[in-house]
Amino acid sequence: MKDVTIYDVAERAQVSISTVSLALNHPARLKRSTLDRVLQVADDLGFVPKERAVVRARKGVHRIAAVAPFTSYASFSRRLAGVFDELGDRGEQLIVSDCADIAVSASPVLASIPVRGHVDGLLNLGVPLDEKIGERLRQRLPTVLLDTRYPGLPDISVDDHLGGRLVGEYLAGLGHRKVAFLNEVETYPFESPPVLRLAGLRSVLGSDAVVEITVPRGTSAGAEAVAQLLADGASPVTAVVGCRDLVALGALAELRARGLSVPGDVSVVGFDDDPVAEALGLTTVRHPFEESGRLALRTLRRMLAAPGEPIASRRLPLTLVPRATTGPALVA
Quote the Cα angle for 24-29-35, to 5°.
55
**Whether pTM exceeds 0.75:** yes
Q: What is the pLDDT of residue 42?
A: 81
Q: What is the pLDDT of residue 50?
A: 63
Helix axes of 6-13 and 17-25: crossing angle, nearest 10 degrees: 110
Residues of the chain with pLDDT below 50 are 53-55, 57-58
Report how far residue 290's alpha carbon sits from residue 214's, in angstroms, rounded to the nearest whole number.
Answer: 28
Q: What is the pLDDT of residue 172?
A: 96
DSSP assignment of 212-241 equals EEEE-SSTTHHHHHHHHHHHTTPPP-SEEE
Q: What is the pLDDT of residue 164?
A: 98
Q: What is the pLDDT of residue 11?
A: 78
65 has which bridge partners?
95, 122
Residue extents of the structural domains in the chain: 6-158+291-316, 160-287
Q: What is the pLDDT of residue 210?
A: 96
Tell me the CATH number of domain 160-287, given options 3.20.19.10, 1.20.120.430, 3.40.50.2300, 3.40.50.300. 3.40.50.2300
Report how far residue 307's alpha carbon sits from residue 142's, in angstroms, rounded to the nearest whole number.
Answer: 8
- Phi then psi dihedrals of residue 86, to 5 deg: -75, -25
What is the bridge-based pairing of β-strands 319-321 and 283-286? antiparallel
Q: What is the pLDDT of residue 236?
A: 85
pLDDT per position as a tens digit, 212-231 = 999 988 889 999 999 999 88
Q: What is the pLDDT of residue 8?
A: 80
| Cβ proximity of 268 and 242 under 8 Å | yes
6-158+291-316 matches 160-287 in fold: yes
Report how far residue 290's alpha carbon sits from residue 84's, in angstroms, rounded to the nearest whole number.
Answer: 9
Burial category of 12 from C-beta neighbours within 10 Å (exposed 0-12, middle 13-18, buried 19 and up)? middle
Q: What is the pLDDT of residue 115?
A: 78
Tell me the CATH number of domain 6-158+291-316, given options 3.40.50.2300, 3.40.1000.10, 2.60.120.10, 1.20.1510.10. 3.40.50.2300
Q: What is the pLDDT of residue 9?
A: 77
